[in-house]
Amino acid sequence: MTKAFCQLGHEAKLVVHPAAAEPHPDPTHEPLLWATPDEVRHPLWWQKHQPEIVILGLWTRPKYDRVRRAALASTSRLMERADSDGMRTASCGLFAYAKRRFDYFRDRSYRWPLPFSVTAAGIYSFASILATPWIESRLARTLDLLPAVAVETPEATILWKALARRMGVDPQKIHHIPHPIQTDLFHFNPAIPKRNQIISVGRWDSYQKNLPLLLKTLGSFLDKNRTWTSLVIGSGLPGKSPHPRITCLPPLPSPQLAPLMQESRIFLLSSRYESFGLAAAEAVACGNVIVAPNGVWTHSTPSAPKDDPASLLDRLSMASRTPPAHGASSGKNEFSPQNVAQSFLSSMAGLPLAPTRAS
């Protein structure tokens, strides 16, 4: 993103503040600007650098309001990336929110003994519902403070706008701006023929990514479709492949991953939830058909996904009958860093340049 702003003719820097225990990196690397957590909470630090536009990656968490106020002391053209699937409070849908909170905590307690993890996740989910009035009160104050918020998918943007209205916040502050991907690497390549291949990429040691659902669905599909193969790439995979036509690979750097996506026809996503899904966006740019549970990724409905192998298998079977792509993917332009950077600039063009008093 920072390089994209530079390519558009702007001076841009990525501000990084490592934890106090981490060694301070070499400050000469460009376009990086290293700062301590205390510095980014102080208005004088931002005023010293005189930014015209600030884009924050603080997930709209109220605990970072001091950083927001400090940045607003230097410019009013400030936008925060929510990195959110839209299920921010129980007002967005009680059952879907309860399940999302349960899955969220299970992901963080996945290595605990199963009874403790499940019980703690249930308690956390119930407590989150009870705390909704307090959560919304704090969130409303943060949204009042922010001039603009970027939400990554159309469905999440709808949920955020509706939530803003309920909290008495101007919904026009909410803008749909996707995450960028490396479209110089991830794009449709007509020189690479499409194969009957399903690809999946993820952190498979995470509860969120739902490896059991992925492997069960793939195994059932491959047993019935002998001409198809599958690649599963990422951390946390079993040492031995569970199926003769499933190849398991460790995490790969982008230059090695891109050709594998370009030769694949289907990207299979098994996640319980995603705020955006970078690997899926990369696959779209490479001309893949996306198959995912209901309620997951950018072109789905904002309902709770079902961990249902039969439903996911039906979607996968339908996708396998879709003719392979023979032209450039429309996703390439949508997710290019330059176009995403331009979307940020356009969304903030109407904001006043002078700093405001952040109360």
Structure confidence by residue, pLDDT tens digits, 13-26: 999 876 555 555 56
295 and 156, same structural domain?
Answer: no
Does residue 239 fall inside a structural domain?
yes
Mean pLDDT of 264-268: 96
Identify the weakest region by mean pLDDT among 6-10, 258-262, 327-331: 327-331
Is 51 among the domain residues?
A: yes
**Distance set, CA 116 to CA 100, 109, 124, 178, 228 (Å):** 18, 9, 12, 37, 40
256 inside domain = yes
Number of domains within the chain: 2
pLDDT at 189 over 50: yes
**315 vs 329, more confident:** 315
More confident residue, 331 or 134: 134
Q: Would 313 be classed as within a structural domain?
A: yes
344 and 319 belong to one structural domain: no
Residue 38 has pLDDT above 70, yes or no: yes
**pLDDT at site 303:** 41
Do residues 171 and 222 both lie within one domain?
no
> Does pLDDT of 194 surpass 60?
yes
Q: Same domain, yes or no, for 80 and 171? A: yes
According to the model, what pLDDT value does residue 331 have? 53
pLDDT at 300 over 50: no
What length does the chain have? 359
Measure the CA–CA gap between 157 and 86, rounded to whole angstroms.
Answer: 7
- Strand partners for 33: 15
Q: What is the CATH classification number for the domain harbouring 10?
A: 3.40.50.2000
Give domain status of residue 267, yes or no. Answer: yes
The predicted model gives 165-189 an average pLDDT of 95
- Find the radius of gyration of the CA atoms of the chain: 22
Sign of the C-alpha dihedral computed for residues 80, 81, 87 and 88 taken in this order: negative
**Residue 356 maps to a domain:** no
Residues 226 and 327 in one domain: yes
Percent of the chain with pLDDT over 70: 89
Q: Is 91 exposed, middle or buried (0-12, 13-18, 19+ CB in 10 A)?
A: middle
Residues 6+ apart with CB under 8 A from 172: none
The answer to whether the CB of 47 falls within 8 A of the CB of 20 is no
pLDDT of residue 180: 95
Sign of the alpha-carbon torsion through 20, 25, 27, 32: negative
pLDDT band of 333, cuts 50, 70, 90: confident
**Three-class DSSP category at 230:** strand
Same domain for 342 and 329, yes or no, is no
* 205 close to 179: Cβ distance less than 8 angstroms: no
pLDDT for the residue 326: 67
Do residues 270 and 312 lie in contact, with contact meaning Cβ atoms separated by under 8 Å?
yes
**How does the average pLDDT of the chain come out, rounded?**
89
Note whether residue 127 is domain-resident. no
- Share of residues in the chain with pLDDT > 90 (%): 79
Question: How high is the pLDDT of residue 359?
Answer: 40
Each residue's pLDDT tens digit, 45-76:
999 999 999 999 999 999 999 999 999 999 99
297, 342: one domain: no
pLDDT confidence bin for 323, thresholds 50/70/90: confident
Eight-class DSSP state of 208: G
Q: Cα-flanking dihedrals φ and ψ of residue 233, to 5°?
A: -120, 135
Residue 296 pLDDT more than 50? yes
* Average confidence (pLDDT) over 107-126: 95
What are 139-170's pLDDT values in tens digits? 999 999 999 999 999 989 999 999 999 999 99
Give the domain range for residue 9: 2-86+132-180+337-348
Of 76, 93, 110, the C-alpha closest to 163 is 93
How high is the pLDDT of residue 283? 94
Is the pLDDT at 188 greater than 60, yes or no?
yes
Please check the confidence at residue 305 and state whether its pLDDT lies above 90.
no
- The model carries a pTM of 0.89
Which of 232-241, 248-257, 287-296 has the weakest average pLDDT?
287-296
In a domain, 50, yes or no: yes
Residues 140 and 229 in one domain: no
Given a contact cutoff of 8 angstroms between Cβ atoms, the answer to whether 249 and 344 are in contact is no
Whether residues 243 and 154 share a domain: the answer is no
Same domain, 174 and 201: no
238, 164: one domain = no
| 65 or 275, which is more confident | 65
Residues 306 and 250 in one domain: yes
Q: Give the model's pLDDT for residue 36.
A: 87
